[in-house]
Amino acid sequence: MRAFSNLIVPGDSKVIERFTRVSENELLYQYTVEDPKTYSAPWRAEYSLYKTEQRMFEHACHEGNYSLPHILQAQRLADKKTSKTSP
């Protein structure tokens, strides 16, 4: 299963996404979930995204990655070992 917004959507579901520019400042995001094993019919949701002057950063690649501090710590230890053994 994968998390989609605050909903749980089974991994074998089909999710169709559509982005439509509504105006200079608004982008309409729509998605349809098709999963006949779970739902009796496809269902759809939508919400608007608005233009902002603030910088935005993609966050999905590390969202919930609680092991990141351990990965970084392990690399720092490996770097220390390498620097001690290098001439």
* Position 18 pLDDT exceeds 90: yes
Residues 20, 27: contact at Cβ < 8 Å?
yes
* Position 2 pLDDT exceeds 50: no
Residue 60, in any domain of the structure: no
Q: Residue 55 — pLDDT band, cuts 50, 70, 90? A: confident
Average pLDDT of the residues of the chain: 83
What's the structural domain count of the chain?
A: 1
Residue 6, in any domain of the structure: yes
Q: Following CA atoms 63, 67, 69, 73 in sequence, which dihedral angle do they give, to the nearest 10 degrees?
A: -150
Residue 79, in any domain of the structure: no
Assign 3-state DSSP to the chain and report helix, strand, coil percentages, each to 5: 20, 35, 45
Residue 27, in any domain of the structure: yes
Is pTM beyond 0.95? Reply is no
Q: Which domain holds residue 29?
A: 1-51
Question: For 51-55, which contacts have Cβ atoms below 8 Å and span 24 or more sequence positions?
Answer: 51/24, 51/25, 51/26, 51/27
